[in-house]
Each structure stands twice: as structure tokens, then as C-alpha cells.
Structure 1
Amino acid sequence: MKKISFSDFSIRVIHSTFNTRFFLAKACQKLPPLAWVVNRMLFAGDDIQVLPRDAATKTHHAGTVQEVELNTTVPVSNENTVLPSQVLREMIKRSRYHFIMDTCICRTSNNCQDYPHDIGCLFLGKGSQRISTKLGRIVSATEAIQHVNRGQEAGLVPIIGRNKIDSVWLNTGPKEELLSICHCCQCCCLWKMTPNLPAGMGSSFSPMEGVEITFNEDICNGCGLCSKEVCFVDAITVVGGTTQRDDQKCRICGRCAEICPKGAVKIEMHDDALKRSLERVKTLVDVELE
């Protein structure tokens, strides 16, 4: 009998159980002991930032560079605009190791029809070197940045942080040695279950530091383009032609700002947003560790 590897077993389990995540999340809300077990096994210590899509942000700075950390600067575009994706590029440049998965486990599990299956997660840090090469490949920093750019071009939303479930199913060792960068679509993202999770577990998946979203009700015409088909955490509803937003659910991914034909939704980054975001990520995983 052919021996099944840990990675093969993990993928089979994920594919077969992926769409039960909503049921499990709701069960955790109703059964605190189950929530405790699930959190301890899969989510303990998680800290994940949702970065708005670059196209959705409009922040203007006076200079040509923004200071991020000692001896580190982040370049700014010709329009003096600092982009959220620069957080990803900065962490990629700092990391000694980079691993790209050949496929997105969420989109393949959900048989996504709208976004590419071959834009998989990018992993940084020492733990990424323990991922089975059956699942992807070790790449250079340049290749990793090209991968991030491709995700933006495909219309996907980047998230970055420490996600314990990745270190478990990939068998990479301590969660503190693996930094995950995923490119999410609104139809298949694992974190669509966030509204159904207990508050403590769902709060580990949060907006980027230093980013705000504003909604001008006077401009909105209630067309509904920004509702469920775009918002993956069900933060937007349209009732009687009036758009209602739940700021507690919103993770400021930027999809609604991009699609709004009236410009009623705007996303802005504070001048220190990149610095704050990078400081938050840096405490999670030492990507320079040998």
C-alpha cells in the first residue's frame, strides 16, 4: 500500500471539509468548550492584517519617500501615494526564505470560477523551508514580489500575518517561524467565516493599521454593487434602497471602494500607516532567522 505523506493527507482533509467551516464557526459560537478546543488547535496567537487593495487607496504625501524603520525607506509612486502592498514587499525583502504554493487551497477546495487557482499563498521565514516541495517551490525575493504583483493584477486582496492553521496543516513547526501572505477572493476566502466566529477568534483577523474607511450616505444611490457579492464578511446590506454598513464586521479590504460608481466609499491611509503595519508584523515572526 502506498504511504500517504502528511501534506497529501492535509490537502485531502482540507478539500473534504473546507465548506463545513461555516457550520464549525457557528458551532463554536454556541458551544464555548468547542470554541476553546478549536482556538487552541488552530487559531491561538493569530494576528492577521487585511491590506486594502492598492487601487482602492487614495493617500497623498508631500515627500518622495516615507520613513518606515531605522535604515529603511519605502518608495512612493509618482503621485506621492504610499501603497498598502509595500508592507508585503518590505517583509519579502527582509526575509531569508520565500516559498510559493502552486495553487490556492481555498479556491481549489471551493472550485472557484472567478479567480486564478494558481496564485497560491506566499510564506516567509524559517518555517517555510519545511513545507513539502510537492506543494510549491522555494523562490527568490524578486520572484516573490512578482507573485504579489500578480495577485494585485488579478483583483485579489492581500492578507499578512501569523496564522497558526498554516503551521499546523503544513507541519512547519512553531507558529512563530512562519509568516503567511495570502491573496484572497471574496467568494472562497477561508475568513468568510469571520462573522460566524466567536468575537475573540474573529478579532485576530483585522484591518491594516492606520487605515480608515469613510462612507458618504448622501452620494450613495443604493445600487447594491458593494453588498454581499463584493463584501466577503457581509458588512454591507441594502435595505429598501438604502445601504447600511457594519463597521464592526468591515475589514477594510477595499473592494467596495473600487466598485462604487458614485465614489461614496473612500479608503485613506494615515501618514504612519506603513510604519505601524510593519511594526505589528515584525513582532509576529522573525523572518530573518536562520
Structure 2
Amino acid sequence: MRRPRFVDLSRFTLKYIFNWRFRIAEFTKKSELYKKAVEKFLFEDDEIIVIPNTISVNKKIESEGSEFLPTEIIKEVIKRCDDIVIMNSCLCRTSNNCQDYPQDIGCIFLGPTSKRIPEHIGKKASVEEALEQVDRADEAGLSHIIGRNKIDTVWMNVRPGKGLLTICHCCPCCCLWKVYPNLDDDITDKLERLDGVTVSLSEENCRMCKKCLDEVCMFNAIGLKDNKITIDHDTCRGCGLCANTCKFGAINIDYTEEAVDNIVNRLEDLIEIKEL
């Protein structure tokens, strides 16, 4: 008897709570008490990492004689998981009727808790199907966010949260992209740039087309000063969407040599869901 109630709750959340997300986010900046309540209910213990889109990256990462691109990090996590569910479609892009990116490329959920996700939200998938989904998202120019995201366990009404890892394929239409600027800094700090990622701007290549200013950056890190494009490196999370948008190679994504160890260490932390 539990299943119908569980499904109805998730559908109610999709229909009503999703439409309130902007107002909920805005109030986190106006009330400390309200912010703490929202943070505990929707963002407690979150650890979310932005992985740049592969086509944005100028060079591969060399490690122990081999080379790999950032999305290989995601693929390694997928390969180590037995329980995988792929969302039937992207909730954000379908809700916003996104015309720039595919609406049928939904999130990937990993871990034992994913088995409790109802079928009207997502279907059980094989490792091969999940890897193909990552490739499709990469080819479409989407950036990836991977981590434990409590809000997913809330809107889908699944538990335990530590048994669910979410891989989002994001575009400027995505819920997080839209809501992020309205959230308090204590909450947005949970969204991290992958260690070692740097974003650089080549003024020589810039043609001032200003396409990178058209609501591409969810972090508002791209700006205009003295008629020049600028990047706020303190707020930038290295998603790579600005690099994808630039057709003249003026914005570049790179890695430092220390990035490899940081990536491997973080990968080990993320795959602890296997042990639950």
C-alpha cells in the first residue's frame, strides 16, 4: 500500500513545489531563520561538484601514462555502481520548454536508494546505458554536476540520502542555474569547482560578441567592465558553458598538475555509496 502514496507525493511535489522554487530561494537571503530551515530541509550535508563539459577542456589530464578527460571521472563512478536509474526526461528543461538543449537527457541516479525511485520518474539502467547518456550530454554541450543532493531525496521522497548520488547534465535552463543567484551564500557554497580547474580569458581572441553575457553563467561570474569581458574567479565554478558559447576561443578551461590527485581523492569519497 505504500507505493501509491509514495508516487502521489512525488507527483504533488513536481506539480506544486517546483513552481515555488524561486520564492523559496529568495527568502533565504531575507531571513536567517528561514535560511537555516531551508538549508536543513533541502541542502543539509550536500556535496556537489561541477565537472566541466569535455568539449570545453583544452587538454587531457595525464596520469600514470594514460590520458583522460573530465567526464571520465563521472564514468568511473558509474562503472563502480550496481544500481543505476536514468530520469525519463530533464525536469528543468521540460518545465521551462528549453529549445536549446535536448529535453530527453535527464539526470542519472546512482546507489542503492535509486531502487526506490518510482518508474514515472526514471527507469533502471545498465552501466552501458548510463555511459551512453553521459556521452549524449557531452555532445549536446551540457555541463555536469555530480554529488549528494538532499533536495533530490526530498522531491522524490526516497531514503536514505547517503545512498543516492546524482549526476545532472546542466544547461542555463536548469533549475539550479535559475535558482542559484537567489540563494544565500551559505547554501551556494555547497556547489564546488573541481579542484585544479581554471578558467582563463584571452583578450586577443575576444571579438566582443557578448554571447557569454546572455545568462550563460549561473554563477554570474562573467561581467563587463570598461567595455571588456571579465571573469570573477572567486565565484566561477568552472562549468565550461561560457567556453562552449564562445566561438572564438577566447574563454578556455585548463587544469593544474595537482588536479589529478585531487580528482582521484574526491572520486574515492564519492563512491562510498557502494558500501551502504
2-side partners of 1:278 and 1:5: how far apart? Answer: 41
Residue 236 of structure 2 aligns to a residue whose secondary structure is coil
Q: How far did 1:165 drift?
A: 0.6
1-side partners of 2:178 and 2:267: how far apart? Answer: 22
TM-score by length of 2: 0.89
Q: How far did 1:5 drift?
A: 3.7
| Matching of residues 217-256 of structure 1 within 5 Å | 217-239=203-225, 241-256=227-242
Q: How far did 1:35 drift?
A: 0.4
Matching residue of 1:29: 29
Q: How far did 1:154 drift?
A: 1.6
Matching residue of 1:154: 140
Q: How far did 1:8 drift?
A: 3.8
2-side partners of 1:22 and 1:277: how far apart? Answer: 33
Letter in 1 for 2:161: K
TM-score by length of 1: 0.85
Matching residue of 2:243: 257
Instruction: Tell me if 1:59 matches 2:53.
Output: no
Matching residue of 2:110: 124
Residue 144 of structure 2 aligns to a residue whose secondary structure is strand
Between stretches 253-262 and 89-98, larger displacement belongs to 253-262
Residue 286 of structure 1 aligns to a residue whose secondary structure is helix
Q: How far did 1:284 drift?
A: 4.3
The answer as to whether partners of 1:126 and 1:289 remain within 8 angstroms in 2 is no
Instruction: Tell me if 1:173 matches 2:173.
Output: no
| Matching of residues 1-290 of structure 1 within 5 Å | 5-60=5-60, 66-67=63-64, 76=67, 82-239=68-225, 241-284=227-270, 286-289=272-275
1-side partners of 2:176 and 2:235: how far apart? Answer: 15
Residue 226 of structure 1 aligns to a residue whose secondary structure is helix
1-side partners of 2:264 and 2:19: how far apart? Answer: 33
* C-alpha distance 148-45 of structure 1, shift in aligned 2 (>3 A): same
Letter in 2 for 1:58: N
1-side partners of 2:84 and 2:235: how far apart? Answer: 32
Residue 29 of structure 1 aligns to a residue whose secondary structure is coil
Residue 288 of structure 1 aligns to a residue whose secondary structure is helix
Q: How far did 1:4 drift?
A: 5.6
List alignment gaps of at least 5 residues for structure 2.
none
2-side partners of 1:155 and 1:5: how far apart? Answer: 37
Letter in 1 for 2:28: C
Between stretches 25-34 and 15-24, larger displacement belongs to 15-24
Residue 256 of structure 1 aligns to a residue whose secondary structure is helix
1-side partners of 2:261 and 2:148: how far apart? Answer: 18
1-side partners of 2:18 and 2:256: how far apart? Answer: 36
Q: How far did 1:272 drift?
A: 4.5
Residue 132 of structure 1 aligns to a residue whose secondary structure is coil
Residue 28 of structure 2 aligns to a residue whose secondary structure is helix
2-side partners of 1:264 and 1:113: how far apart? Answer: 25
2-side partners of 1:111 and 1:17: how far apart? Answer: 18
The answer as to whether partners of 1:87 and 1:274 remain within 8 angstroms in 2 is no
Greater helix share, structure number: 2
Residue 275 of structure 2 aligns to a residue whose secondary structure is coil
Between stretches 143-152 and 127-136, larger displacement belongs to 127-136
Runs of 4+ in 1 over 4 A off after TM superposition: none
List alignment gaps of at least 5 residues for structure 1.
68-72, 77-81
1:114-165 deviation line (CA, Å, top 9, x unaligned):
2222111101111111111222211111111011111111221111001001
Residue 128 of structure 2 aligns to a residue whose secondary structure is helix
2-side partners of 1:242 and 1:8: how far apart? Answer: 51
Letter in 2 for 1:54: T
* C-alpha distance 39-285 of structure 1, shift in aligned 2 (>3 A): farther
* C-alpha distance 281-48 of structure 1, shift in aligned 2 (>3 A): farther
